[in-house]
Chains A and B, each alone.
Chain A
Protein backbone atom coordinates (compact mmCIF):
# COMPACT_ATOMS: atom_id res chain seq x y z
CA UNK A 1 0.00 0.00 0.00
CA UNK A 2 1.43 3.43 -0.88
CA UNK A 3 1.55 6.15 1.77
CA UNK A 4 2.42 9.82 2.15
CA UNK A 5 5.45 11.20 4.05
CA UNK A 6 3.01 12.62 6.61
CA UNK A 7 1.44 9.20 7.15
CA UNK A 8 4.86 7.61 7.62
CA UNK A 9 5.80 10.32 10.14
CA UNK A 10 2.56 9.78 12.09
CA UNK A 11 2.95 6.00 12.12
CA UNK A 12 6.61 6.23 13.16
CA UNK A 13 5.57 8.52 16.04
CA UNK A 14 2.80 6.15 17.12
CA UNK A 15 5.33 3.31 17.41
CA UNK A 16 7.30 5.28 20.03
CA UNK A 17 4.71 4.62 22.73
CA UNK A 18 3.37 1.49 24.38
CA UNK A 19 0.38 0.52 26.46
CA UNK A 20 2.03 1.48 29.76
CA UNK A 21 2.69 5.05 28.71
CA UNK A 22 0.96 8.06 30.15
CA UNK A 23 1.01 10.58 27.30
CA UNK A 24 0.66 14.34 27.23
CA UNK A 25 -1.06 14.84 23.91
CA UNK A 26 -1.05 17.99 21.80
CA UNK A 27 -3.36 18.76 18.91
CA UNK A 28 -2.55 17.80 15.35
CA UNK A 29 -0.05 15.11 14.48
CA UNK A 30 0.70 14.10 18.11
CA UNK A 31 -2.99 13.50 18.72
CA UNK A 32 -3.22 11.43 15.53
CA UNK A 33 -0.14 9.40 16.51
CA UNK A 34 -1.34 8.70 20.06
CA UNK A 35 -4.86 7.78 19.02
CA UNK A 36 -3.44 5.55 16.29
CA UNK A 37 -1.30 3.82 18.92
CA UNK A 38 -4.35 3.36 21.15
CA UNK A 39 -6.24 1.72 18.27
CA UNK A 40 -3.37 -0.55 17.19
CA UNK A 41 -0.54 -1.78 19.42
CA UNK A 42 -1.16 0.19 22.63
CA UNK A 43 -4.81 -0.12 23.72
CA UNK A 44 -3.87 0.43 27.37
CA UNK A 45 -2.22 3.82 26.81
CA UNK A 46 -3.40 6.78 28.91
CA UNK A 47 -3.95 9.98 26.96
CA UNK A 48 -3.97 13.30 28.80
CA UNK A 49 -4.82 16.59 27.14
CA UNK A 50 -3.74 19.83 28.82
CA UNK A 51 -7.35 20.84 29.32
CA UNK A 52 -7.13 18.49 32.32
CA UNK A 53 -8.85 15.50 30.71
CA UNK A 54 -7.06 12.43 32.07
CA UNK A 55 -7.57 9.10 30.28
CA UNK A 56 -9.49 10.56 27.33
CA UNK A 57 -10.72 8.07 24.70
CA UNK A 58 -11.99 10.21 21.81
CA UNK A 59 -13.72 8.49 18.88
CA UNK A 60 -12.49 11.17 16.47
CA UNK A 61 -9.46 13.46 16.64
CA UNK A 62 -10.37 16.61 18.57
CA UNK A 63 -9.92 20.00 16.86
CA UNK A 64 -8.94 21.64 20.15
CA UNK A 65 -7.37 20.31 23.33
CA UNK A 66 -10.66 21.01 25.09
CA UNK A 67 -13.30 19.44 22.81
CA UNK A 68 -16.28 18.07 24.75
CA UNK A 69 -15.62 14.49 23.76
CA UNK A 70 -12.29 14.50 25.59
CA UNK A 71 -14.10 15.29 28.81
CA UNK A 72 -17.05 12.95 28.32
CA UNK A 73 -14.76 9.97 27.56
CA UNK A 74 -12.10 10.79 30.19
CA UNK A 75 -11.54 8.89 33.42
CA UNK A 76 -11.57 12.23 35.22
CA UNK A 77 -11.19 15.91 34.43
CA UNK A 78 -9.13 18.16 36.68
CA UNK A 79 -8.53 21.91 36.71
CA UNK A 80 -5.71 23.33 34.63
CA UNK A 81 -3.58 24.37 37.66
CA UNK A 82 -4.00 20.87 39.11
CA UNK A 83 -3.00 19.33 35.79
CA UNK A 84 0.21 21.31 35.54
CA UNK A 85 1.12 21.08 39.24
CA UNK A 86 0.08 17.60 40.40
CA UNK A 87 0.27 15.61 37.20
CA UNK A 88 2.89 17.16 34.92
CA UNK A 89 5.32 18.83 37.37
CA UNK A 90 5.34 15.72 39.56
CA UNK A 91 6.93 13.67 36.78
CA UNK A 92 4.01 11.25 36.43
CA UNK A 93 3.68 11.72 32.67
CA UNK A 94 5.98 9.39 30.73
CA UNK A 95 5.77 10.75 27.20
CA UNK A 96 5.15 14.08 25.52
CA UNK A 97 5.02 14.94 21.83
CA UNK A 98 6.06 18.39 20.64
CA UNK A 99 6.30 20.22 17.35
CA UNK A 100 7.68 23.67 16.53
CA UNK A 101 8.24 26.25 13.84
CA UNK A 102 12.01 25.99 14.38
CA UNK A 103 14.34 23.42 15.95
CA UNK A 104 18.12 23.54 16.38
CA UNK A 105 20.78 20.80 16.56
CA UNK A 106 20.19 20.30 20.29
CA UNK A 107 16.42 19.96 19.84
CA UNK A 108 15.63 23.34 21.38
CA UNK A 109 12.33 24.64 20.00
CA UNK A 110 10.87 27.95 18.86
CA UNK A 111 7.10 28.46 18.83
CA UNK A 112 7.19 32.19 19.65
CA UNK A 113 8.33 34.38 16.75
CA UNK A 114 10.06 34.31 13.40
CA UNK A 115 12.34 37.34 13.33
CA UNK A 116 13.01 39.64 16.27
CA UNK A 117 10.74 39.35 19.32
CA UNK A 118 10.22 43.12 19.47
CA UNK A 119 9.29 43.41 15.77
CA UNK A 120 8.41 39.92 14.58
CA UNK A 121 8.10 38.92 10.95
CA UNK A 122 5.64 36.25 12.04
CA UNK A 123 4.08 36.14 15.46
CA UNK A 124 3.59 32.46 16.37
CA UNK A 125 1.21 31.21 19.11
CA UNK A 126 3.82 31.09 21.89
CA UNK A 127 4.81 28.64 24.58
CA UNK A 128 1.59 26.92 25.67
CA UNK A 129 2.45 23.84 27.67
CA UNK A 130 5.71 23.08 25.89
CA UNK A 131 8.47 24.45 28.20
CA UNK A 132 7.24 22.52 31.24
CA UNK A 133 6.36 19.46 29.15
CA UNK A 134 9.94 19.32 27.94
CA UNK A 135 11.17 19.66 31.52
CA UNK A 136 8.81 17.21 33.26
CA UNK A 137 7.70 14.45 30.85
CA UNK A 138 10.05 11.50 31.25
CA UNK A 139 10.83 11.60 27.54
CA UNK A 140 9.93 13.83 24.62
CA UNK A 141 9.37 13.01 20.98
CA UNK A 142 9.54 15.92 18.56
CA UNK A 143 7.51 15.40 15.40
CA UNK A 144 7.70 17.90 12.55
CA UNK A 145 8.30 18.04 8.79
CA UNK A 146 11.94 18.67 7.91
CA UNK A 147 13.08 21.71 5.93
CA UNK A 148 15.82 24.34 6.06
CA UNK A 149 13.29 26.89 7.28
CA UNK A 150 12.48 24.73 10.29
CA UNK A 151 15.79 22.97 11.04
CA UNK A 152 17.93 26.03 11.65
CA UNK A 153 21.47 26.82 12.70
CA UNK A 154 20.16 29.37 15.20
CA UNK A 155 16.66 29.74 16.64
CA UNK A 156 15.01 33.16 16.41
CA UNK A 157 13.68 32.55 19.94
CA UNK A 158 14.26 29.72 22.39
CA UNK A 159 10.76 28.94 23.68
CA UNK A 160 11.36 25.42 24.92
CA UNK A 161 14.66 23.99 26.03
CA UNK A 162 15.55 20.59 24.63
CA UNK A 163 19.22 19.80 25.31
CA UNK A 164 20.15 23.47 25.70
CA UNK A 165 23.80 23.98 24.78
CA UNK A 166 24.28 20.20 24.59
CA UNK A 167 26.30 17.87 26.79
CA UNK A 168 25.08 17.81 30.37
CA UNK A 169 23.31 21.20 30.16
CA UNK A 170 19.96 19.80 31.30
CA UNK A 171 21.51 18.18 34.33
CA UNK A 172 23.35 21.39 35.22
CA UNK A 173 19.97 23.15 35.18
CA UNK A 174 18.65 20.59 37.65
CA UNK A 175 16.43 18.84 35.12
CA UNK A 176 16.35 15.09 35.66
CA UNK A 177 14.17 13.94 32.74
CA UNK A 178 15.56 12.70 29.40
CA UNK A 179 14.26 15.53 27.21
CA UNK A 180 13.94 14.98 23.45
CA UNK A 181 14.96 11.37 22.75
CA UNK A 182 13.85 11.29 19.11
CA UNK A 183 13.03 13.78 16.40
CA UNK A 184 10.76 12.21 13.81
CA UNK A 185 10.41 14.02 10.50
CA UNK A 186 9.01 13.23 7.08
CA UNK A 187 12.47 12.09 5.87
CA UNK A 188 14.28 10.58 8.85
CA UNK A 189 14.57 9.90 12.57
CA UNK A 190 17.24 11.65 14.63
CA UNK A 191 18.42 10.89 18.13
CA UNK A 192 20.72 12.93 20.37
CA UNK A 193 24.32 11.76 20.52
CA UNK A 194 24.88 10.10 23.93
CA UNK A 195 27.72 12.52 24.79
CA UNK A 196 27.24 15.79 22.94
CA UNK A 197 23.43 15.54 22.68
CA UNK A 198 23.67 16.80 19.10
CA UNK A 199 20.94 15.38 16.87
CA UNK A 200 22.23 12.48 14.79
CA UNK A 201 20.37 10.68 12.01
CA UNK A 202 19.74 7.07 13.06
CA UNK A 203 17.08 6.08 10.53
CA UNK A 204 16.10 7.27 7.10
CA UNK A 205 12.68 6.68 5.59
CA UNK A 206 12.46 4.36 2.55
CA UNK A 207 13.86 6.00 -0.59
CA UNK A 208 15.50 8.92 1.25
CA UNK A 209 19.21 9.67 0.66
CA UNK A 210 21.79 11.41 2.87
CA UNK A 211 21.89 14.31 0.42
CA UNK A 212 18.15 14.65 0.76
CA UNK A 213 18.40 14.83 4.57
CA UNK A 214 21.25 17.35 4.43
CA UNK A 215 19.36 19.51 1.92
CA UNK A 216 16.49 19.75 4.42
CA UNK A 217 18.74 20.70 7.36
CA UNK A 218 20.19 24.14 8.11
CA UNK A 219 23.38 22.84 9.75
CA UNK A 220 25.90 20.13 8.75
CA UNK A 221 23.91 17.12 9.91
CA UNK A 222 25.63 14.14 11.50
CA UNK A 223 24.80 10.53 10.70
CA UNK A 224 25.14 7.64 13.11
CA UNK A 225 27.73 4.93 12.36
CA UNK A 226 24.88 2.69 11.33
CA UNK A 227 21.82 4.32 9.73
CA UNK A 228 18.89 1.97 9.34
CA UNK A 229 15.78 2.24 7.23
CA UNK A 230 12.48 3.17 8.90
CA UNK A 231 9.98 0.34 8.64
CA UNK A 232 7.15 1.25 6.26
CA UNK A 233 3.64 1.60 7.73
CA UNK A 234 1.69 -1.65 7.80
CA UNK A 235 -1.63 -1.98 5.99
CA UNK A 236 -3.39 -2.13 9.33
CA UNK A 237 -1.73 1.07 10.60
CA UNK A 238 -2.59 2.93 7.41
CA UNK A 239 -6.17 1.70 7.38
CA UNK A 240 -6.74 2.75 11.01
CA UNK A 241 -5.08 6.15 10.50
CA UNK A 242 -7.05 6.92 7.34
CA UNK A 243 -10.32 5.88 8.91
CA UNK A 244 -9.60 8.09 11.93
CA UNK A 245 -8.78 11.11 9.76
CA UNK A 246 -11.84 10.62 7.54
CA UNK A 247 -14.19 10.36 10.53
CA UNK A 248 -12.54 13.44 12.02
CA UNK A 249 -12.88 15.53 8.89
CA UNK A 250 -16.53 14.57 8.49
CA UNK A 251 -17.26 15.50 12.10
CA UNK A 252 -15.48 18.86 12.07
CA UNK A 253 -16.96 20.15 8.84
CA UNK A 254 -20.48 18.85 9.37
CA UNK A 255 -22.02 22.17 10.39
CA UNK A 256 -22.44 25.33 8.36
CA UNK A 257 -20.48 28.36 9.60
CA UNK A 258 -22.52 31.06 11.37
Chain B
Protein backbone atom coordinates (compact mmCIF):
# COMPACT_ATOMS: atom_id res chain seq x y z
CA UNK B 1 0.00 0.00 0.00
CA UNK B 2 1.66 3.20 -1.13
CA UNK B 3 2.26 6.04 1.31
CA UNK B 4 2.86 9.65 0.31
CA UNK B 5 5.78 11.18 2.14
CA UNK B 6 8.77 13.44 1.63
CA UNK B 7 11.72 12.11 -0.36
CA UNK B 8 13.89 12.53 2.72
CA UNK B 9 11.51 10.33 4.77
CA UNK B 10 11.13 7.77 1.99
CA UNK B 11 14.87 7.22 1.63
CA UNK B 12 15.51 7.25 5.40
CA UNK B 13 12.80 4.64 5.91
CA UNK B 14 13.46 2.24 3.01
CA UNK B 15 17.17 2.28 2.26
CA UNK B 16 19.86 1.13 4.67
CA UNK B 17 23.63 0.83 4.52
CA UNK B 18 24.64 -2.38 2.74
CA UNK B 19 21.35 -2.74 0.83
CA UNK B 20 21.04 -3.77 -2.79
CA UNK B 21 19.22 -0.97 -4.57
CA UNK B 22 18.11 -0.66 -8.19
CA UNK B 23 17.40 2.89 -9.41
CA UNK B 24 16.02 2.22 -12.86
CA UNK B 25 14.86 4.26 -15.84
CA UNK B 26 16.31 3.40 -19.24
CA UNK B 27 17.74 6.80 -20.24
CA UNK B 28 14.25 8.20 -19.54
CA UNK B 29 12.85 8.94 -16.03
CA UNK B 30 16.13 8.35 -14.19
CA UNK B 31 15.47 9.08 -10.49
CA UNK B 32 18.21 11.70 -10.02
CA UNK B 33 16.52 13.56 -7.14
CA UNK B 34 16.30 10.31 -5.18
CA UNK B 35 19.91 9.45 -6.00
CA UNK B 36 20.99 12.84 -4.64
CA UNK B 37 18.97 12.22 -1.48
CA UNK B 38 20.86 8.95 -0.99
CA UNK B 39 24.16 10.83 -1.29
CA UNK B 40 22.99 13.51 1.16
CA UNK B 41 21.95 10.89 3.70
CA UNK B 42 25.42 9.34 3.43
CA UNK B 43 24.43 5.74 2.67
CA UNK B 44 27.45 3.43 2.48
CA UNK B 45 28.36 0.01 1.08
CA UNK B 46 25.40 -0.13 -1.26
CA UNK B 47 25.19 -2.64 -4.08
CA UNK B 48 23.96 -0.49 -6.95
CA UNK B 49 22.02 -2.22 -9.73
CA UNK B 50 21.22 -0.51 -13.04
CA UNK B 51 21.39 -1.62 -16.67
CA UNK B 52 23.07 1.67 -17.58
CA UNK B 53 24.75 3.25 -14.54
CA UNK B 54 24.55 6.64 -16.28
CA UNK B 55 25.40 9.89 -14.49
CA UNK B 56 23.29 8.97 -11.46
CA UNK B 57 25.55 6.08 -10.45
CA UNK B 58 28.68 7.95 -11.51
CA UNK B 59 27.63 10.46 -8.85
CA UNK B 60 26.82 7.83 -6.19
CA UNK B 61 30.08 5.94 -6.86
CA UNK B 62 32.18 9.11 -6.75
CA UNK B 63 30.44 10.18 -3.55
CA UNK B 64 31.52 6.92 -1.88
CA UNK B 65 28.08 5.29 -1.48
CA UNK B 66 28.81 2.07 -3.38
CA UNK B 67 30.75 -1.13 -2.66
CA UNK B 68 29.50 -2.99 -5.72
CA UNK B 69 27.97 -2.27 -9.10
CA UNK B 70 25.71 -4.64 -11.03
CA UNK B 71 25.28 -3.37 -14.59
CA UNK B 72 25.27 -4.07 -18.32
CA UNK B 73 26.55 -0.89 -20.03
CA UNK B 74 28.56 1.69 -18.12
CA UNK B 75 29.13 4.71 -20.33
CA UNK B 76 27.88 8.28 -20.71
CA UNK B 77 25.50 7.71 -23.65
CA UNK B 78 26.73 9.34 -26.85
CA UNK B 79 29.51 11.12 -24.92
CA UNK B 80 32.06 8.58 -23.64
CA UNK B 81 33.24 7.30 -20.29
CA UNK B 82 31.75 7.55 -16.83
CA UNK B 83 34.89 8.94 -15.21
CA UNK B 84 33.92 8.30 -11.57
CA UNK B 85 33.07 4.68 -12.39
CA UNK B 86 36.37 4.31 -14.21
CA UNK B 87 38.35 5.95 -11.40
CA UNK B 88 36.77 3.53 -8.90
CA UNK B 89 37.53 0.48 -11.05
CA UNK B 90 40.95 1.54 -12.30
CA UNK B 91 42.29 3.26 -9.15
CA UNK B 92 39.99 2.31 -6.28
CA UNK B 93 38.89 5.93 -5.70
CA UNK B 94 37.19 6.84 -3.44
CA UNK B 95 37.02 3.14 -2.61
CA UNK B 96 37.30 -0.14 -4.54
CA UNK B 97 34.21 -1.12 -6.49
CA UNK B 98 33.31 -4.75 -7.12
CA UNK B 99 31.68 -5.40 -10.49
CA UNK B 100 29.02 -7.91 -11.49
CA UNK B 101 28.35 -7.41 -15.15
CA UNK B 102 25.89 -8.74 -17.67
CA UNK B 103 24.70 -7.97 -21.15
CA UNK B 104 21.51 -5.91 -21.51
CA UNK B 105 19.53 -8.99 -22.53
CA UNK B 106 20.77 -10.91 -19.47
CA UNK B 107 19.92 -8.16 -16.99
CA UNK B 108 16.57 -7.36 -18.63
CA UNK B 109 15.69 -11.06 -18.40
CA UNK B 110 16.83 -11.12 -14.75
CA UNK B 111 14.50 -8.22 -13.89
CA UNK B 112 11.67 -9.92 -15.75
CA UNK B 113 12.20 -13.11 -13.71
CA UNK B 114 12.36 -10.99 -10.54
CA UNK B 115 8.96 -9.46 -11.25
CA UNK B 116 7.56 -12.94 -11.92
CA UNK B 117 9.24 -14.20 -8.72
CA UNK B 118 10.89 -16.99 -10.61
CA UNK B 119 14.31 -18.13 -9.39
CA UNK B 120 16.11 -17.53 -12.68
CA UNK B 121 15.77 -16.37 -16.26
CA UNK B 122 16.69 -18.40 -19.33
CA UNK B 123 17.51 -16.96 -22.72
CA UNK B 124 19.34 -17.70 -25.95
CA UNK B 125 22.63 -16.17 -26.80
CA UNK B 126 26.33 -16.48 -26.78
CA UNK B 127 27.68 -14.60 -23.78
CA UNK B 128 31.32 -14.47 -24.88
CA UNK B 129 33.78 -14.22 -22.00
CA UNK B 130 31.35 -12.73 -19.46
CA UNK B 131 30.72 -16.09 -17.72
CA UNK B 132 34.44 -16.27 -16.88
CA UNK B 133 34.23 -13.06 -14.83
CA UNK B 134 30.63 -13.39 -13.65
CA UNK B 135 29.96 -16.87 -12.21
CA UNK B 136 26.24 -16.08 -12.04
CA UNK B 137 26.10 -16.86 -15.76
CA UNK B 138 25.11 -20.52 -15.92
CA UNK B 139 23.42 -22.78 -18.42
CA UNK B 140 20.22 -24.78 -18.24
CA UNK B 141 18.98 -27.54 -20.53
CA UNK B 142 15.44 -27.25 -21.86
CA UNK B 143 13.51 -30.33 -20.62
CA UNK B 144 11.47 -30.39 -23.84
CA UNK B 145 13.98 -29.80 -26.62
CA UNK B 146 17.34 -30.46 -24.88
CA UNK B 147 18.55 -27.05 -26.11
CA UNK B 148 21.14 -25.48 -23.83
CA UNK B 149 20.15 -21.97 -22.77
CA UNK B 150 21.97 -19.30 -20.80
CA UNK B 151 20.61 -18.75 -17.28
CA UNK B 152 21.03 -15.90 -14.80
CA UNK B 153 19.46 -15.53 -11.34
CA UNK B 154 16.36 -13.36 -10.97
CA UNK B 155 17.04 -9.76 -9.93
CA UNK B 156 15.35 -9.19 -6.57
CA UNK B 157 16.78 -5.99 -5.04
CA UNK B 158 16.08 -4.91 -1.48
CA UNK B 159 14.91 -1.56 -2.75
CA UNK B 160 13.66 -0.27 -6.11
CA UNK B 161 13.71 3.45 -6.82
CA UNK B 162 12.04 4.87 -9.93
CA UNK B 163 10.66 8.18 -11.16
CA UNK B 164 7.27 8.38 -12.91
CA UNK B 165 5.10 11.08 -14.44
CA UNK B 166 1.99 10.84 -12.29
CA UNK B 167 0.38 9.39 -9.20
CA UNK B 168 -3.31 9.65 -8.45
CA UNK B 169 -4.62 10.44 -4.97
CA UNK B 170 -5.03 6.74 -4.18
CA UNK B 171 -1.32 6.25 -4.79
CA UNK B 172 -1.43 4.44 -8.12
CA UNK B 173 1.43 5.38 -10.45
CA UNK B 174 1.48 5.84 -14.22
CA UNK B 175 4.53 5.70 -16.50
CA UNK B 176 4.49 6.85 -20.13
CA UNK B 177 7.04 6.82 -22.92
CA UNK B 178 10.13 4.64 -22.73
CA UNK B 179 9.11 2.35 -19.88
CA UNK B 180 12.43 0.48 -19.66
CA UNK B 181 12.48 -2.01 -16.80
CA UNK B 182 10.87 0.16 -14.13
CA UNK B 183 7.77 -1.97 -13.65
CA UNK B 184 9.83 -5.15 -13.37
CA UNK B 185 12.22 -3.49 -10.91
CA UNK B 186 9.45 -2.38 -8.54
CA UNK B 187 7.61 -5.71 -8.73
CA UNK B 188 10.79 -7.67 -8.03
CA UNK B 189 11.97 -5.56 -5.08
CA UNK B 190 11.19 -6.02 -1.38
CA UNK B 191 10.65 -2.25 -0.90
CA UNK B 192 10.11 0.59 -3.35
CA UNK B 193 10.22 4.35 -3.64
CA UNK B 194 8.58 6.20 -6.52
CA UNK B 195 9.12 9.89 -7.14
CA UNK B 196 6.53 11.56 -9.40
CA UNK B 197 6.18 14.80 -11.32
CA UNK B 198 2.69 15.48 -9.97
CA UNK B 199 -0.44 14.08 -8.35
CA UNK B 200 -3.59 14.08 -10.49
CA UNK B 201 -7.26 13.35 -9.83
CA UNK B 202 -7.50 10.62 -12.47
CA UNK B 203 -5.30 9.10 -15.15
CA UNK B 204 -6.61 9.80 -18.63
CA UNK B 205 -4.44 7.34 -20.52
CA UNK B 206 -5.14 4.33 -22.68
CA UNK B 207 -6.60 1.25 -20.94
CA UNK B 208 -3.26 -0.43 -21.67
CA UNK B 209 -1.16 2.29 -20.05
CA UNK B 210 1.69 1.21 -17.81
CA UNK B 211 0.24 1.59 -14.31
CA UNK B 212 1.60 0.30 -11.01
CA UNK B 213 -1.30 -0.22 -8.55
CA UNK B 214 -1.01 1.40 -5.10
CA UNK B 215 -0.85 -2.01 -3.46
CA UNK B 216 2.36 -2.86 -5.35
CA UNK B 217 4.28 0.27 -4.29
CA UNK B 218 5.96 1.41 -1.06
CA UNK B 219 6.50 5.15 -0.76
CA UNK B 220 5.62 7.96 -3.18
CA UNK B 221 7.31 11.36 -3.02
CA UNK B 222 6.23 14.25 -5.23
CA UNK B 223 9.39 15.71 -6.77
CA UNK B 224 8.71 17.78 -9.89
CA UNK B 225 11.75 17.69 -12.16
CA UNK B 226 13.09 14.69 -10.24
CA UNK B 227 14.47 12.99 -13.35
CA UNK B 228 16.59 15.96 -14.49
CA UNK B 229 19.02 15.94 -16.38
CA UNK B 230 17.35 12.85 -17.88
CA UNK B 231 13.79 13.58 -18.89
CA UNK B 232 10.12 13.01 -18.20
CA UNK B 233 8.15 12.42 -21.38
CA UNK B 234 5.43 15.05 -21.64
CA UNK B 235 7.09 17.31 -19.03
CA UNK B 236 10.65 18.23 -19.94
CA UNK B 237 13.40 17.12 -22.29
CA UNK B 238 16.70 15.41 -21.68
CA UNK B 239 19.39 18.02 -21.04
CA UNK B 240 21.85 16.62 -23.56
CA UNK B 241 24.13 19.62 -23.06
CA UNK B 242 24.49 18.69 -19.39
CA UNK B 243 25.36 15.09 -20.29
CA UNK B 244 28.11 16.52 -22.49
CA UNK B 245 29.22 18.94 -19.74
CA UNK B 246 29.39 16.09 -17.20
CA UNK B 247 32.38 14.70 -19.07
CA UNK B 248 34.42 17.72 -17.97
CA UNK B 249 32.91 18.05 -14.49
CA UNK B 250 33.50 14.40 -13.61
CA UNK B 251 36.93 13.94 -15.18
CA UNK B 252 38.69 15.54 -12.25
CA UNK B 253 38.20 14.48 -8.59
CA UNK B 254 38.18 18.03 -7.24
CA UNK B 255 35.77 19.46 -9.78
CA UNK B 256 33.51 16.45 -9.18
CA UNK B 257 33.59 17.01 -5.41
CA UNK B 258 32.84 20.68 -5.70
CA UNK B 259 29.95 19.93 -8.08
CA UNK B 260 28.50 17.40 -5.59
CA UNK B 261 28.97 19.85 -2.74
CA UNK B 262 27.15 22.66 -4.53
CA UNK B 263 24.42 20.74 -6.39
CA UNK B 264 23.76 17.86 -4.00
CA UNK B 265 25.00 18.51 -0.45
CA UNK B 266 23.94 22.16 -0.31
CA UNK B 267 20.75 21.60 -2.26
CA UNK B 268 17.55 19.57 -1.98
CA UNK B 269 14.75 17.91 -3.95
CA UNK B 270 12.97 21.26 -4.39
CA UNK B 271 15.78 22.47 -6.68
CA UNK B 272 14.85 19.95 -9.38
CA UNK B 273 11.69 21.77 -10.53
CA UNK B 274 13.78 24.85 -11.36
CA UNK B 275 16.49 22.81 -13.12
CA UNK B 276 13.97 20.93 -15.26
CA UNK B 277 12.01 24.08 -16.15
CA UNK B 278 14.96 25.19 -18.28
CA UNK B 279 14.40 22.23 -20.62
CA UNK B 280 10.59 22.19 -20.55
Contacts and interface: CB of A to CB of B under 8 A. Distances in A.
Interface of A: 27-28, 50-53, 62-68, 70-72, 77-81, 83-85, 88-89, 108, 112, 117, 120-132, 134-136, 157-161, 170, 173-175, 251-258
B77 A63 contact: yes
A85 B110 CA distance: 12
Contact of A127 (B130, B240, B244): B130
Interface string B136-174: 000000000001100000000000000000000000000
A52 B28 CA distance: 11
Contacts of A77: 177-179
Given A27-B77, A71-B28, A79-B180, A132 B103 contact: yes
Contacts of B126: 131, 134-135, 161, 170, 173, 175
Given A127-B104, A253-B244, A81 B184 contact: yes
B117 interface: no
Interface in B60-108: 71-75, 77-79, 81-82, 85-86, 89-90, 101-105, 108
B229 A89 contact: no
Given A64-B240, A120-B90, A132-B125, 4 more contacts: A51-B28, A52-B178, A80-B26, A108-B128
A78 B181 CA distance: 10
A75 B238 CA distance: 21
Given A71-B233, A131-B103, A132-B104, A257 B241 contact: yes
Interface string B237-260: 111111111000000000000000
Contacts of B211: none
Contacts of A108: 128
A123 B178 contact: no
Contacts of A51: 26-28, 178, 180
Contacts of B263: 258
B125 A80 contact: no
